[in-house]
Chain A
Amino acid sequence: MKTIMLVLEAGLRDLARNKWIAAYAFGFAVITEGLFWFGGTGPQVALSLLNVVLMVVPLVALVFGTIHVYASREFVELLLAQPVARRDLFIGQFLGLALPLAGAFAVGAGIPFAWHAGAGTGGGALLALFTAGVALSVAFAAIATWIALRTDDRLKGVGLALGVWLLTTVVYDGLVLAASAAFAEYPLERPLLALMAGNPVDLARVLVLTQLDISALMGYTGALFERTFGTSIGTSVAVVTLVAWCAAPLALAARRFARRDF
């Protein structure tokens, strides 16, 4: 535990002074305040911000995370040469990446909402929006860590990270749509729900939209999700599945870190 806390503290100190993390937080603050500035009400701002979160948070977590893990490799080797356990070092390093990413989003987007006292956005919707942003930060930081630990070639690693971003934010929905059109004659409810659970970005979208109660914007899978589970159970299912999306790549990355040769 001591090693985890020490490595985490060093990671937080390093990224707290990182200009890209500061720019990321500042960017979210400007976008959120801008949405308020253009006359949006709280729920409208939350909805517009959601679309930014779904695209930007995975992109930054994947690309920044991959580059950060590659850049830390030699320092990790130096720390591994000390009498520390690999597992503790991994946890400290990962938290030192994921917490600043999640924190930059939460602080950047949170300050304008706090300034406007929520502007009529329901507590549930706000909580869902920030839970979604934090969960996406952690899940995609874990995927980035796994990619960087699996691939020694830095260029290939960053390319893979961008590929995951394209797949989850753009291609996946297209594939689901194509599948639902191709098999329109069949009962697709269950397969489509399973497909939605296969993409953390879709889960985050549904988690927030069920709280904002805007079924028209949920898309087919979102509406289906709410109809199948209802709002409260649906929210719980989305949160649990998002947590699984954080845990699974993290477990894979931890396993890789424990076994790999540096």
Chain B
Amino acid sequence: MITAQALRKRFGALDVLRDVSLDVRGGAVTALVGPNGSGKTTFIKIVLGLARADSGTLAVNGAAADAAGQYRRHIGYMPQAAHFPQNLRVRDVLELVRALRQGEATDEALVSAFNLAAEMNKLVGTLSGGTRQKLNAAIAFLFRPSLLILDEPTAGLDPIASGILKDKIRQVRGEGRSVLITSHILTELQELADDVAFLCDGELRFAGSVAALLARTGERSLEPAIAALMRTERARRVAPVESAPVAWIPAVERI
């Protein structure tokens, strides 16, 4: 579970996160959505300790996120694109992460399901993008983490591998663990997500169940519901820009 309180992050003059407070509950898949540049990646990086919030507090499974990083024992992370050293073998990469997290219980199900045993002696640089992504997924799920952070997890996977991964996500949810997922494929989120967190311009505009979002927007599925949220945000941003300069011109009474 993630408990974020009033997270703020600024890069130069740009407020990337503005007082974001979000609870990601156990036993649920939470979709983190929003337009490009809304702060999704920054939020994830702060949870992982890759970036530091300027203010606010963060706890994962009740453990404070601190510089020592031991709270990351609870986390499995699957980045959007897998970049491993080109001259390491698949076996070397898996052995490295296993050794770094020695003593933790492992779940080799995805290693088997993706048939990575057949790739063990291949150099990472010779693997296809899809196989690298399978390795990426296998590492994220390897240590039975109580929180999984998946950034565009099915990008580059073939339909069979994608189906295996989605089944695994459902299994993890069924075991009471948390999943925080970002994806631009909203039909995929429709299949998986229980909760939605919608970020726009660094602010959390909606956080709640998928059912609550559908009720609020009056839509039947997630894709048009998210689109409706985005349209609302766009209208809110555009409105003052259109009306303000015109209102300054005395001859114009209405547009």
- CB-contacts of B81-104 with A (<8 A): 81-88, 92, 96-97, 99-101
Known: A6-B96, A83-B73. A262 touches B51 (CB 8 A): yes
Closest to B69 in A: A83
- CB-contacts of A240-257 with B (<8 A): none
Contact for B97 among A2, A15, A82, CB less than 8 A:
A82
A16 to chain B, nearest CB (A): 8
- CB-contacts of B44-59 with A (<8 A): 45, 48-52
Determine whether B252 belongs to the interface, using a CB cutoff of 8 Å to chain A: no
A127 to chain B, nearest CB (A): 32
Known: A74-B81, A86-B67, A261-B52. A81 touches B88 (CB 8 A): no
Whether A80 pairs with B49 at a CB distance below 8 angstroms is yes
Known: A81-B50, A83-B101, A84-B100. A14 touches B88 (CB 8 A): yes
Q: When chains A and B are docked, how far (Å) is the Cα of A71 from the Cα of B69? A: 24
Determine whether B197 belongs to the interface, using a CB cutoff of 8 Å to chain A: no
Determine whether B115 belongs to the interface, using a CB cutoff of 8 Å to chain A: no
Closest to B73 in A: A83
Whether B87 pairs with A84 at a CB distance below 8 angstroms is no
Give the chain A neighbours of B69 by CB distance below 8 A. 80, 83-86
Q: When chains A and B are docked, how far (Å) is the Cα of A17 from the Cα of B45? A: 32
Residue among A71, A85, A261 with the highest chain B CB neighbour number at 10 A: A261
Give the chain B neighbours of A216 by CB distance below 8 A. none
Whether B97 pairs with A75 at a CB distance below 8 angstroms is no
Give the chain B neighbours of A78 by CB distance below 8 A. 77, 79, 83-84, 139
Contact for A75 among B49, B73, B75, B83, CB less than 8 A:
B83
Residue among A2, A80, A83, A84 with the highest chain B CB neighbour number at 10 A: A83
Whether A13 pairs with B73 at a CB distance below 8 angstroms is no
Whether A14 pairs with B85 at a CB distance below 8 angstroms is yes
Q: Indicate with 1 or 0, residue by residue over A55-78, a CB within 8 angstroms of chain B CB atoms.
A: 000000000000000011111011
Determine whether B118 belongs to the interface, using a CB cutoff of 8 Å to chain A: no
Known: A74-B83, A86-B69. A79 touches B88 (CB 8 A): no
A241 to chain B, nearest CB (A): 34
B121 to chain A, nearest CB (A): 13
Closest to B92 in A: A13
Determine whether B244 belongs to the interface, using a CB cutoff of 8 Å to chain A: no
Q: Indicate with 1 or 0, residue by residue over A106-140, a CB within 8 angstroms of chain B CB atoms.
A: 00000000000000000000000000000000000
Whether A75 pairs with B84 at a CB distance below 8 angstroms is yes
Whether A3 pairs with B100 at a CB distance below 8 angstroms is yes
Known: A6-B96, A261-B45, A262-B50. A82 touches B101 (CB 8 A): yes
Q: Known pairs A75-B83, A80-B48. 6 more at Cβ < 8 A?
A: A13-B88, A74-B79, A74-B82, A80-B50, A81-B50, A81-B72
Residue pairs across A and B with Cβ atoms less than 8 A apart, 9 shown, are A6-B96, A13-B87, A17-B87, A75-B84, A81-B75, A82-B97, A83-B69, A83-B71, A84-B100
Query: Which 7 pairs between the two chains have the least Cβ-Cβ distance?
Result: A74-B83, A17-B87, A261-B51, A81-B77, A14-B85, A262-B50, A83-B72
